[in-house]
Amino acid sequence: MKTLRYTPIPASFYQTVRDTLASRLPAGALVVAHANDVYPTNADGVMQHHQNADLHYLTGIDQEETVLLMRVGENGQHEDTLLLRETDERIVIWEGARLTQSEARDISGIEDVRWTREYQSLIAEAMQSVKYVYWERDHHPRRYTYVQTRNERMFAAFQANYPDADMRSLYPLLSEMRLVKGEPELVQLRKACKTTGEGFAAILPHIKPGMGEWEMEALLSCEYTRRRSRKFSFLPIIASGADTCVLHYISNHKVCKDGDLILFDIGAEYGGYAGDMSRTVPASGKFSPRQKAVYEAVLAVHRYAASIMLPGVRKADYERRVRVRMAQELVKLGLLTAEQVRQQADDPTCVRKYYMHSVSHSLGLDVHDVCPADPVFAVGQVWTIEPGIYIPEENTGVRIETDVLIHPDGVEDLIPDAPLEVADIERLMQG
């Protein structure tokens, strides 16, 4: 496709996803999912478009002003209509042509492709027989933005026009479906993760004291882009010194000093799917004894977490067991006492002073991908593993994160090209 930098997923995948969704919906349901807005900056500027993940999952269409309508009948039968922004002469001159109807059919597998201007008439027609309306809603428990999305705005307008409609959310269904990745999704995720790790390994030999955090960001951006990644999958965290203890430090404005640690939390996007990796390295290319001890403690917890991420394990219990293992390492480092840990032996929440986040989150079309509240690990799920220890009084923060795919007998590291061992990091940095 002329508008895509990446190789798209086959249309048969999206057809299967819609078939699965329809099979879980009652007859008489109407599904509505809108693209994300193109958000303004100032004057006549706009941000880069980032597609609504659920719409992408259902259609593969990565274009603004797109709408999916699904009318569900008996026994999971469904009729799908895709609405596109129509290209006109001004768009062609200033922005370039948008997808043709034929191209959209090839990507999505939807035969009935029309222009977005038909949206209101199609809704009015469908509502003559619809019993339930399932709308794309973002109910992620950690969402905190108050900006109204296009789906929310159109939802409010729909309710005003059809106040008696039985409105329901797609979120519970799609968050469950998206948790287990299909094989075509894994192709995209492997590419995103491979790019994430290779780009990081490529810049390690260039890191030295006196270098700006922003310079490392620039090097990473170059490495990711040349591998056909469209952008970082999230705002990159490149934190040195005391800011290694700031979990979401994104200003990347400081010069790294000799003796500093540098914490990278970075990811490349490919085909809408996200890589997510953390590594912590010494600016000088050589860990101090204390830095090495903290790093080795985090790595030990990382290995333990990977060993217990098995099908059938409930995530909440997994997190608790990792806290127990983390407590042992914090005692060895002299940060907690054995008595503190003994008093909370089953779940030592005292570790939160130095390790305050969870160890794993689902990964996919979103970096913090949607999933049920307390899922059970299963084959085909992709998760991060990212323990960390943060000691503000020592200006020392260490986080180690990789992305893994769950197999029947354990996990596969999707970022094997990014060094984990102290010796490997030091060898690459000094090479």
pLDDT given at position 45: 93
pLDDT given at position 372: 94
Same domain, 191 and 333: yes
Same domain, 88 and 30: yes
Same domain, 61 and 90: yes
Same domain, 140 and 221: no
pLDDT in tens, 82-112: 999 998 888 888 888 889 999 999 999 999 9
Q: Evaluate if residue 146 carries a pLDDT over 90.
A: no
Q: What does the alpha-carbon distance between residue 220 and residue 17 come to, in Å, rounded to a whole number? A: 34
pLDDT in tens, 38-58: 999 999 999 999 999 999 999
Same domain, 202 and 322: yes
Same domain, 84 and 226: no
Q: Say if 321 falls within a structural domain.
A: yes
Q: What angle do CA 368, 372, 374 make, to 5 degrees?
A: 100
Same domain, 255 and 355: yes
pLDDT given at position 3: 65
Same domain, 150 and 270: no
Spell out the alpha helix ranges (H) of 333-405: 338-342
What average pLDDT is seen over the chain? 96
pLDDT in tens, 242-297: 999 999 999 999 999 999 999 999 999 999 999 999 999 999 999 999 999 999 99
pLDDT given at position 91: 85
Q: Say if 216 falls within a structural domain.
A: yes
pLDDT given at position 92: 84
Q: Say if 106 falls within a structural domain.
A: yes
CATH of the domain at 388: 3.90.230.10
Same domain, 70 and 216: no
pLDDT given at position 2: 55
125, 159, 177 - which closes a domain: 177
Q: Grade residue 143 by pLDDT with cuts at 50, 70 and 90.
A: confident
Q: Do residues 236 and 266 touch, judged by C-beta distance below 8 A?
A: yes
160, 177, 194 - which closes a domain: 177
Give bridge partners of residue 169 from the DSSP assignment: 135
Same domain, 379 and 275: yes
Domain that holds residue 79: 11-177
Q: Say if 366 falls within a structural domain.
A: yes
Q: Do residues 222 and 196 touch, judged by C-beta distance below 8 A?
A: no
Average pLDDT over residues 308-328: 98
Average pLDDT over residues 7-16: 97
Average pLDDT over residues 304-324: 98
pLDDT given at position 144: 78
Q: Say if 354 falls within a structural domain.
A: yes
pLDDT in tens, 338-384: 999 999 999 999 999 999 999 999 999 999 999 999 999 999 999 99
Q: Evaluate if residue 5 carries a pLDDT over 90.
A: no
Least confident segment among 46-50, 219-223, 419-423: 46-50
Q: Evaluate if residue 1 carries a pLDDT over 70.
A: no
3-state secondary structure of 119: helix
Same domain, 125 and 253: no
DSSP 84-104: EPPP-HHHHHHT-----HHHH
pLDDT given at position 80: 98
Look at the chain and report how many structural domains it folds into: 2
Q: Say if 45 falls within a structural domain.
A: yes
Q: Say if 361 falls within a structural domain.
A: yes
Q: Say if 1 falls within a structural domain.
A: no
CATH of the domain at 39: 3.40.350.10
Q: What does the alpha-carbon distance between residue 196 and residue 279 come to, in Å, rounded to a whole number? A: 11
Long-range Cβ pairs for the range 300-306 (8 Å, 24+): 300/325, 300/329, 301/325, 301/326, 301/329, 301/359, 301/387, 302/385, 302/386, 302/387, 302/400, 302/402, 302/420, 305/359, 305/360, 305/385, 305/387, 306/385, 306/404, 306/410, 306/411, 306/413
Same domain, 194 and 107: no
Q: Evaluate if residue 168 carries a pLDDT over 70.
A: yes
Q: Do residues 248 and 239 touch, judged by C-beta distance below 8 A?
A: no
158, 177, 196 - which closes a domain: 177
